[in-house]
């Protein structure tokens, strides 16, 4: 018996994803100079709300299918184009 299925994992991930997307979209309107953005990618979102902001990461990727190398290239370009450095997180 699975304790956590795919649908439950998606709901858990959405608890972080949805507020970050809304925050970035609000920042787009209030602070256009920050270059805030939220874009869909691989079943999730890439979120950026300014260099150094704790709201700025990819969330939910791969929950709806495989993540391609083209998706990873797009992800890297999304953050690089906004002046965000690379931050790596380990996944257990």
Q: Are 45 and 60 in contact (CB under 8 A)?
A: yes
pTM for the structure as a whole: 0.82
SS3 of the chain: the string is CCCCCHHHHHHHHHHHHHHHHHHHHHHHHHCHHHCCEEEEECCEEEEECCCCCCCCCEECCCCCCCCCHHHHHHHHHHHHCCCCCCCCCCCC
Q: Residue 87: its pLDDT value, please?
A: 58
What is the per-residue pLDDT across 43-68, written as a single tens digit (0 to 9) for each?
Answer: 999 999 998 888 888 999 998 889 99
Q: Supply 13's token pair.
A: 């991930």
């Amino acid at each position: 018996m699975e304790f956590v299925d795919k649908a439950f994992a998606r709901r858990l991930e959405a608890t972080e994803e949805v507020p970050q997307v809304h925050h970035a979209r609000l920042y787009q309107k209030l602070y256009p100079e920050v270059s805030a953005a939220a874009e869909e990618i691989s079943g999730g979102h890439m979120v950026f709300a300014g260099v150094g902001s704790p709201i700025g990461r990819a969330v939910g990727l791969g929950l709806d299918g495989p993540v391609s190398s083209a998706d990873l290239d797009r992800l890297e370009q999304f953050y690089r184009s906004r002046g965000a450095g690379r931050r790596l997180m380990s996944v257990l």
